[in-house]
Structure 1
Amino acid sequence: MTDRAFWKSFSGLVLALVALTIVLFIVAQMVGGKPAKTVETTADAKAIAERIKPVGEVTVGAAPAERVASSSSVMDAIIPAANAAGADKGKATYDASCMACHAAGVAGAPKFGDKAAWAPRIAQGADTLHTHALKGFQGKAGMMPPKGGNMSLKDEDVMAAVDYMVNAAK
């Protein structure tokens, strides 16, 4: 076989492969086609959003305005501080913010009403307890974030909550 015959055969083979590739591509486009466009109506989108929405919400601190306006019974159950007009401010603040840690003893927090856990703290004095609650404190047993992690609380509300917990532990 001469060089000229080789190049002729090789060129023919390459052209045949290119033609086969083009034909296969065209056939694949015709068989596969384009994906069907799905048309979602607003009702479908709302139904899907309803099915995949979260089961519940976690609320710490103040309630969103739309929930406060929509259901006072839900607000009473979730956020007692919202109904604190005339009620004990210390208890309301404890129920709204402090209970998250002090009810279960999270992060070394003394449990509500536990006289043994509160005794050494009460011995330090009310001013020290108020300062630790307002500014935060890192102790041997755990830590207290400033204002219990709820920086929207007023200082007097935090101090009232501390006094409420101290009175329950005496």
Structure 2
Amino acid sequence: MSEAPHGAPIKTPGQLIAAVIAAFAIPIVVIWLLAYYVNQSERSGAGTDGLADATVAQRIAPLAQVDVRNPNAPHVFKTGEEVFKAVCTTCHTPGAAGAPKFGNNADWAPRIAQGYAALLQSALHGKNAMPPRGGTSPDDYSDYEIARAVVYMADHSGASFPEPAAPAAGANAAQTAEPASAASAAQSPTASTGTVNDQAAAAIAALPSAPAPAAASPGADKAQAGKALYTQVCQACHAAGVLGAPKFGNKADWAPRLKDPMDVVYNYALHGKGNMPPKGGSNASDDDVKAAVDYMVNAAK
């Protein structure tokens, strides 16, 4: 038994020449195609944009920014919707701490029945868990802007209050006008017009000024002062845990906060932390704020 003879794939000189040429040509073509593909797309490596104009400008920009404004420029008032979204939505959208829900006619009906002036007074001076002006200050939003927010919420919840009249040019819109008697209001040119907007403006002017919080006497009970401030200011967020605030009496919520020394906890309450403004947006004394912190901490132990 003999094996079949094996034939070589290259049998002629021409085939040998073709094989040699192919051995050189094919790799060259492949390398050229790869180089062509790479050059068709721009790929920047890490750090290659470090000297770009935008990157350099951002890197050398100062930390503090100066916002130059013209004091003589006319003030642009926020709309009722803008004030609602910035301040009121925190409690009135979910109905936190007993606040009437936005758009819920049943919640707003008893409030609307009291009239526009009563609603505005509650918004400016606070009521139950709602702090005065929703925890803001007159420097943040004027009385006129607060009034627009009240009308915006009420009109979207079953009322038909007119848009408040804008303050006169040059008037101080940060605060309401001095309280005027009904007789003087009736004799004024504004009241004599009889328009709905003028009546709304008169209602704003007739509101009493918000009383300043009484300073605690040296012998006052700190626990009572803390409880009073919690009820007036802190309860708005801490009762329902609004915006991540630790709920009153909830040990699990307060445990991470109480890992820090009390001086740190006091500092958060006095100077603000996260969504909480300094002193909860109030003008209470430092001692009363600390007393309110102690009141909430003791309830969570």
TM-score normalized by the length of structure 1:
0.51
User: Match of 1:161?
Assistant: 292
More helix by share: 1
Q: Distance in 1 between matches of 2:244 and 2:271?
A: 17
Establish whether residue 137 from structure 1 lines up as the match of residue 273 from structure 2: yes
SS of 2:249's partner is coil
Q: Which has the higher contact order (CA 8 A, sep 6+)?
A: 1
Q: Once the two structures are superposed, what CA deviation does each residue of 1:77-111 show, in whole Å capped at 9, x if it has no partner? A: xx9x76x8755111011011100110111111001
CA–CA distance in structure 2, aligned partners of residues 107 and 93 of structure 1:
20
State the partner residue of 2:54: none
Rate the CA distance shift 1:55–1:121 in 2: closer, same or farther, 3 A: same
Distance 2:232 2:115 in 1: 29
Q: Distance in 1 between matches of 2:118 and 2:290?
A: 35
The answer for the alignment partner of 1:105 in structure 2 is 241
Paired position in structure 1 for 2:280: 148
Q: Which runs of 5+ in 1 are unaligned?
A: 1-50, 67-78
CA distance in 2, matches of 1:125, 1:136: 16
Question: What is the CA deviation profile of residues 19-57 of structure 1, one whole-angstrom value per residue up to 9, with x for unaligned ones?
Answer: xxxxxxxxxxxxxxxxxxxxxxxxxxxxxxxx9634532
Tell me the equivalent position of 2:158. none
Q: CA deviation at 1:164?
A: 0.5
SS in 1 for 2:255: helix
Alpha-carbon distance between aligned partners in 2 of 1:52 and 1:137, rounded to the nearest angstrom: 37
Structure 2 counterpart of 1:157, one-letter code: D
Q: Which residue of 2 aligns with 1:53?
A: 116
Q: Which amino acid aligns with 1:53?
A: Y
Which amino acid counterpart does residue 280 of structure 2 have in structure 1?
A: G
SS state at 1:113 partner: coil
Write the distance in 2 (CA, Å) between the matches of 1:166 and 1:53. Answer: 38
Q: Cα deviation per residue 1:118-148 (whole Å; 9 max; x = unaligned)?
A: 001011121110000001112xxxx321101
Give runs of ≥4 in structure 1 deviating > 4 Å.
84-87
CA–CA distance in structure 1, aligned partners of residues 280 and 240 of structure 2 = 14
- What is the aligned counterpart of 1:93 among 223, 229, 233? 229
For residues 251 and 260 of structure 2, what CA distance do their matches in structure 1 show? 14
Identify unmatched segments of 5+ residues in structure 2: 1-113, 133-178, 180-210
CA distance in 2, matches of 1:168, 1:127: 18
In 2: Cα distance, 1:154 partner to 1:161 partner: 11
> What is the SS of the residue equivalent to 2:266?
helix
In the alignment, the residues of structure 1 paired with residue 115 and residue 225 of structure 2 have an alpha-carbon distance, to the nearest angstrom, of: 39
Which amino acid in 2 is paired with 1:133?
Answer: A
Instruction: Give the partner amino acid of 1:126.
Output: M
Question: d(CA) in 1 for partners of 2:291 and 2:115?
Answer: 42
Give the TM-score normalised by the residue count of structure 2: 0.30
Give aligned-pair identity as a percent.
52
